[in-house]
Structure formats: C-alpha cells, structure tokens
Amino acid sequence: MSHKVVLAYSGGLDTSVAIKWLKEKYSLDVIAFTADIGNVPELSAIRQKALDLGAIKAVVIDAKETFVDSYVFPALQADAIYEGQYPLATALGRPLIAKLLVEIASKEGAVAVAHGCTGKGNDQVRMDVSVAALAPNLKVIAPAREWNMTREQTITYAQDQHIPIPITKASPYSIDENLWGRSIECGPLEDPWNEPPKDTFAWTRAVEDTPNEPSYLEIEFAGGVPTGLNGEPLAGPRLIQKTHELAGKHGVGRIDHVENRLVGIKSREIYEAPAAIVLLKAHKALEGLVLTKQQLRFKDKVAAEYADLIYNGLWFSGLRQDLAAYVASSQRYVTGTVRAKLFKGNCQIVGRKSPCSLYDYSLATYDQGDVFDQTAAPGFIHLWGLPVKIQARAQSLFRGQD
Ligand code: ARG
C-alpha cells in the first residue's frame, strides 16, 4: 500500500524540490495542494508543474472568500498590526492553508502533511502549531527544514533534478503574496541600511511616479466590515482588489520594517499592503467616531495582543477565540462611511460619518447652538483635581522641582 502526503505547494523553489525529495527520502506519494488566497499567478501552470514533477494529484482550492471573511476581516475588525507596522498578510494566510491541508489529508487518507517553510522563520511555527491544533496526531514534514541546504545548494539540486526554478541569481528575493499584502525578503534587503531597490516593489508606485492629482475613496462599513466603495456594494475580495489598485497607484502601502521574529532574530522586511493600510486606517477612523474613549483605549490593548497571537502562530487557540468574541461585540455600531484621500504615498482620512456617531455637534461647537454647560466645569475640575491638591498639601512633592 502506498503512503500519501499532502504538500502545501506554491510552485516556488523549495516546494518544487520537496515533491522529489519527499518521494526520495520518505517514499511518499505527494498530493500537491495550492490554496488561492489571492495574487497567485497562473494557477493551472502551478498545478501542471506539480504533476510534471511527479505529484500523483494536484488540488487547487479557491479560498479567497474564506480568507477574507474568516481571517482578514476579523483581523481588520481587531485593528491587528504587528509592531505597529505589519498588517500580517502572510501570518493570516498560514492558519487557513494549514486548515485546508488537514481537511485534504483526512479526505485522501494521507499519513502526513508537508510544507516548504525553513527552520528560521515564523511560518514553520504557524503551520506546525495550526496542524497540531486541528489534527493533534497528524505528522508534519518540513523538507526545507530537514534538508539543510543553502539557497544556492537548493538551486543546484533543482538544476540537477531538472526542476524549472523561478528565482535566478538576478532576482534574489523571497516573496510571499496574498490579497492582504506582499512580503519581500533576502538579497540586498538583508542590510537594513540599504534602501530597497526599485525591483523590490510590484504593487505600489514610487512616489516620484504617482499622479499629481489626489484620488478620493469612500469606504462603507457595516458592523466593522467594509461593504462598499464610492457607493458601490462589493464583496470582500473585489473590494480589497479595487482599493489595492487605487492606493498602489498613489504609492500608498510601502512598509520597511525591522521585525522581531518569533524565533528570536530581527529581520528586515519590506511589505506592500496598499489595501490593508487604507482599510485599517479607515476602520480606525470610524471606530474613533462610534466607540467611547474607554472602549478605544481597551481595544488598543486587545489589538496588540491579537496581532501578537496571529504573528506567533496561535490563530487556533482559546485566547484568540476569546478575543475574537470581544472584538465582534465591539463592532456592533461600527457602521458608516469614511473618506480617504490618496496622494503622493499618503492615505489621509479626511471625512467620516455614521448613523451611530457619538460626535455631538451641539456639544462640540464654539459657535451658536452650543449646549455644553460651561458652569458645570468648575465643579468637575474641583473634584478631578482634589487628590492632587490633597497630596500637594501632605507630601510637598514638587518643592524645588519641575
Ligand atoms: N515576515 C513575514 C511574517 O513572518 C513574512 C514572511 C514570509 N515572507 C517571505 N518572503 N517568504 O509573517
């Protein structure tokens, strides 16, 4: 009886080599699985390549809608950005890919699943831990972590095995893309002092090349989820794609981040996430209108924790579920429209409105129609400052000091 392994297959160097290697080293028949979570080029070519390399079956699943509805938008509702910079595109994709791998493995009666992550990155953690959460007894094989070849050696191995390879010495980058963002690593980027060369970028224009007129984008939200652009209702993947195109044209969404990996090292990462940057900013602006000060302060803490959980491979954890329930509750009134101005690499929020707005013109205005009771202010200040006054009398904290 032959044994099967389901391999998460991207068509790139490592996973292509892995098809041959799993057969050679483990005598396993490989079922290649490719998830389409956006921006996967030539899916049918990837499928064919897997078969040409000896996979017994090649499965492609369009998971864009699931990715957006169940991973990207919940993270958007949470305002999850890792270390204040990275919108977590890759980190959000991994748990979904792991989930689909597990499902296919169970359907196909496979004895193991496999992925192309190296032993140095975060992705191996996300894949392994997600599989462990969903199928605690399923074996995970990570060929690129086991074979211990350098990039050069992997290329040589691929050449020897007649595996067509997408990277050449002229393009030294390691790239991961899905519809929430693009990440670029390696080559000249490994020196954090080097400005990213022009060919790092594929989704966003350099500011020098952006239009001289701004574009405006009105984003409608319902319950914290973006539902339309400029008055046109759109499903998630399409909405993200349209935002991406317009923001990318204006050079919005380039991120240069020296990031703290889970495995203990710092790495220099370049991201392009035009849609994520615009939608995260717009979402936060709307929250600013409909959530109280206390809700906003608490949500900031949840956002940081939520981002860490996603980054650290703990999507399928009890705490992530708990926080998701909090976030869902916080979004009940995050309904309305935000206007963003895209110009010369910037996304500026220039307008927001909501039927659930807490902004009260008659309380805020300095013009006619002011209903704010200024005679209540001295009493409030008297009580607010009372502990300070008592402490000053009793402890002379500030004598001779600033
Ligand atoms: N640093 C990012 C993360 O840990 C992206 C990693 C994948 N990027 C790549 N070029 N292979 O989520």
CATH number for position 337: 3.90.1260.10
Is residue 146 in some structural domain? Answer: yes
Do residue 22 and residue 55 come from a single domain? yes
Ligand 1 atom with minimal separation from the 262 CA: 4
Query: What is the model's pLDDT at position 246?
Result: 98
Same domain? For 166 and 249 the reply is no
Measured in whole angstroms, the distance separating CA 154 from the mean position of its chain's CA atoms is 29
Q: Which residue, of 171, 194, 226, is where some domain finishes?
A: 171
What pLDDT does 170 receive? 54
Q: What is the DSSP letter of 349?
A: E
Range of the domain at 91: 4-171
Pocket lining: 122 vs ligand 1, CB cutoff 6 Å? yes
- Report pLDDT for 328: 98
Same domain, 163 and 184: no
Distance CA 347, CA 101 (A): 37
Let me know whether 197 and 332 are in one domain.
yes
For residue 358, tell me if it sits in a domain.
no
Residue 144 is which amino acid? Answer: A
In a domain, 138, yes or no: yes
3-state helix, strand, coil in the chain (%, to 5): 45, 20, 35
Query: Would strands 57-62 and 29-36 be described as parallel, antiparallel, or unpaired?
Result: parallel
Same domain, 152 and 266: no
Ligand 1 neighbourhood includes 58 CB (under 6 angstroms): no
What's the total number of domains in the chain?
2
Is there a domain that residue 360 lies in? no
Which CATH number goes with the domain that contains 144?
3.40.50.620
Burial readout 231-248 (b: 16 or more C-beta within 10 A, e: otherwise): eeebebbebbebbbebbb
The rounded distance, in Å, linking the Cα atoms of 84 and 250 is 22
In a domain, 369, yes or no: no
Do 140 and 183 belong together in one domain? no
d(C-alpha 337, C-alpha 226), whole Å: 9
Q: Which atom of ligand 1 is nearest to the CA of 94?
A: 12
Question: Which amino acid makes up residue 50?
Answer: A
Q: Determine, yes or no, domain membership for 186.
A: yes
Cα gap 69→235, rounded to integer Å: 10
Q: Which amino acid is at 182?
A: R
Question: Is the same domain home to 102 and 66?
Answer: yes
To test the ligand 1 pocket, which listed residue (37, 88, 174, 185) has its Cβ within 8 A of the most ligand atoms? 185
Spacing, Cα 284 to ligand 1 middle (Å): 25
Instruction: State the closest ligand 1 atom to the C-alpha of 121, by its place in the atom list counted from 1.
Output: 4
Closest-CA residue to 101 (of 74, 128, 122) = 128
Considering the domain boundaries, does residue 260 fall inside one? yes
- Distance of alpha carbon 379 from alpha carbon 220, whole angstroms: 41
Residue 379 lies in a domain: no
Is 206 in the same domain as 143? no
141, 171, 201 - which closes a domain = 171
Answer whether 14 contacts ligand 1 (Cβ < 6 A).
no
Maximum alpha-carbon separation in the chain: 86
Q: Average pLDDT per run of 10 along the chain, which is 402 residues long?
A: 90 92 95 92 91 96 97 98 98 98 98 95 97 97 93 87 70 90 95 97 98 98 98 98 98 98 96 98 98 98 98 98 98 98 98 97 90 94 97 84 72
> Is any atom of ligand 1 closer than 6 Å to the C-beta of 269?
yes
In this structure, the answer to whether residues 84 and 205 fall within a common structural domain is no
Claim to verify: residue 204 and residue 165 sit in the same structural domain: no
* Same structural domain, 245 and 113: no
Of 136, 171, 206, the residue that ends a domain is 171
Tell me the catalytic residues: 14, 94, 123, 174
- Separation of 379 CA from ligand 1 center, angstroms? 55
Examine the domain organization and report whether 213 and 248 are in the same domain. yes
